[in-house]
């Protein structure tokens, strides 16, 4: 009998040993999902909610590493059951705050201050979030962003502003992903890379990582929410102003174009990429109005103006060297959106007119020779019209 008992204890030890070790390594996982007593709501444990105030822990916890997919912690956190809390907690706000902390390295309260450099794990969480919510991990989606054919929303409205904050912290990468130009510089198989020019990580959205369609699907969803729309619009315009910061006259009086990250001497092809974000937003806004996703256009536009940071313009004395990606989207406004509309007597959400006004304002402040301005106008007009046409072919 004693021999039988010892044998069985050894058998139990052999099976239970790894389980005990796993429980010690992943204590939060057990806490998070053991709390779910049904598939109708989520009882948010304190240990999980506290991740929103601990960016380093949030990044480490959600980092998909080499095992992205349906069983990742991030995918589990983004399951539809987490959209509804069992008690009085605001589940989307909790999930959103955790995502912002994990991907920006800062809490929500720190989003208006100086940004911090992004790490590879942060960028990988961004990429995997897009893959999950864009449809690649959870459900099949249409090949293109035919959003009106999909009755089930990807994300609840309350989560959309947080996701917009997450994406715009990587505004340059977002622009390249929407424009499908990310694969021209980086390893096409990478989901995130470390950029030695800027000393921070970049997230890669391209066809080789199957991220283009999920990114477009997610941006399509976000633009139904006025605050998320405003966040995206502000970031795209800030990126444009950041580019103009570094356009100067050379010793021969010829304009030199480029940013500190990627100079392009004598050419303004960047206008095509920089105008694509505002063109995409304009296209999606029109589609949402057409399909009834935006029911009250006037109310929606007024809400966008209320949530916008305001008008951003190039600075006369930009900082030397590259800026952190997060700082580009947090550019301080020169005026409110309402003030600008009243002064200019034109729509703040008219991306083409607004980009041209910023260009003219910059040219006046920099005392650009009049002969140099028409080619810039032509390049920007051409870029915006091309971008709008391309957006119409992509989002329909």
> Is the pLDDT higher at 29 or at 96?
96
Residue 111 to residue 100: CA distance in whole angstroms: 9
What is the per-residue pLDDT for 64? 84
pLDDT band at 274 (very low <50, low <70, confident <90, very high): confident
The DSSP line for 346-361 is S-TT-HHHHHHHHHHH
Given its phi and psi angles, is residue 181 left (phi above 0), alpha (psi -120 to 50 degrees) or beta? alpha
Compute the CA torsion angle 347, 238, 123, 120 (nearest 10 deg).
180
- Greatest mean pLDDT among 54-68, 91-105, 311-325, 381-395 lies in 91-105
Domain ranges of the chain: 27-222, 224-396
Residue 56 to residue 105: CA distance in whole angstroms: 7
User: What is the β-pairing status of strands 200-203 and 192-195?
Assistant: antiparallel
Residue partners of 124: CB distance under 8 A and separation at least 6: 63, 64, 65, 68, 191, 192, 203
What is the per-residue pLDDT for 264? 43
Which stretches within 134-223 are classed as H helix?
160-168, 171-179, 212-222
Residue partners of 77: CB distance under 8 A and separation at least 6: 32, 62, 95, 98
Residue 396 to residue 146: CA distance in whole angstroms: 6
What is the per-residue pLDDT for 13? 45
pLDDT (mean) for 283-310: 95
Angle, helices 160-168 vs 120-133, to 10°: value is 140
3-class state of residue 255 by DSSP:
strand
Q: Is the pLDDT of residue 35 over 60?
A: no
- Comparing 155-159, 244-248, 334-338, 342-346, which segment has the lowest mean pLDDT? 342-346
CA atoms within 13 A on the CB side of 1: 0
What is the per-residue pLDDT for 243? 87
Q: Which neighbouring-strand residues pair with 290?
A: none
Could you give the percent of the chain with pLDDT greater than 70? Answer: 75
Residue 225 to residue 37: CA distance in whole angstroms: 31
What is the per-residue pLDDT for 3? 40
Total-model pTM = 0.84
E-assigned strand segments in the chain: 192-195, 200-203, 248-249, 255-258, 263-264
Q: Which of 252, 240, 210 is nearest to 311 (CA)?
A: 240
Angle, helices 212-222 vs 226-245, to 10°: value is 120
What are the CA-CA distances from residue 267 to residues 264, 273, 353 (Å)?
A: 6, 13, 22
pLDDT digits (tens, 9 = 90+) for 100-135: 999 999 999 999 999 999 999 999 999 999 999 987
What is the per-residue pLDDT for 65? 77
**Sign of the C-alpha dihedral, residues 134, 136, 139, 140?**
positive
């Amino acid at each position: 009998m004693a021999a039988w008992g010892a044998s069985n204890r050894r058998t139990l030890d052999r099976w239970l040993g790894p389980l005990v070790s796993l429980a010690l390594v992943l204590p939060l996982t057990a806490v998070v999902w053991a709390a779910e007593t049904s598939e109708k709501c989520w009882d948010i444990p304190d240990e999980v909610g506290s991740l929103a105030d601990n960016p380093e822990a949030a990044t480490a916890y959600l980092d998909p590493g080499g095992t992205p997919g349906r069983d990742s912690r991030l995918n589990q956190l983004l399951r539809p059951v987490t959209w509804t809390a069992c008690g009085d907690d605001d589940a989307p706000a909790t999930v959103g705050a955790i995502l912002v902390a994990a991907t920006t390295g800062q809490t929500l309260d720190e989003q208006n201050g100086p940004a911090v450099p992004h790490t590879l794990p942060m960028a990988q969480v961004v990429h995997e979030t897009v893959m999950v919510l864009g449809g690649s991990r959870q459900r099949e989606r249409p090949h293109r962003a035919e959003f009106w054919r999909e009755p089930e929303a990807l994300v609840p409205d309350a989560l959309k502003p947080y996701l917009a904050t997450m994406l715009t912290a990587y505004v340059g990468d977002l622009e390249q992903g929407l424009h499908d130009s990310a694969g021209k510089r980086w390893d096409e198989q990478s989901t995130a890379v470390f950029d030695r020019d800027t000393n921070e990580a970049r997230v890669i959205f391209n066809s080789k990582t199957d991220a283009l369609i999920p990114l477009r699907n997610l941006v399509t969803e976000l633009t139904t929410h006025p605050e998320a729309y405003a966040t995206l619009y502000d970031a795209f315009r800030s990126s444009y102003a950041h580019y103009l910061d570094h356009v100067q006259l050379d010793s021969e009086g010829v304009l030199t174009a480029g940013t500190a990250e990627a100079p392009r001497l004598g050419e303004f092809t960047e206008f095509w990429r920089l105008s694509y974000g505002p063109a995409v937003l304009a296209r999606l806004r029109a589609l949402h109005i057409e399909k009834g996703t935006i029911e009250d256009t006037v109310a929606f536009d007024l809400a966008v103006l209320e949530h916008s940071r305001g008008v951003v313009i190039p600075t006369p004395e930009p900082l030397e060297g590259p800026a952190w990606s997060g700082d580009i989207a947090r550019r301080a406004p020169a005026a409110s959106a309402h003030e600008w509309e009243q002064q200019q007597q034109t729509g703040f959400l008219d991306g083409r007119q607004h980009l041209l006004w910023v260009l003219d304002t910059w040219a006046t402040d920099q005392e650009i020779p009049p002969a140099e301005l028409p080619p810039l106008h032509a390049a920007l007009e051409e870029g915006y019209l091309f971008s709008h046409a391309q957006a119409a072919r992509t989002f329909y």
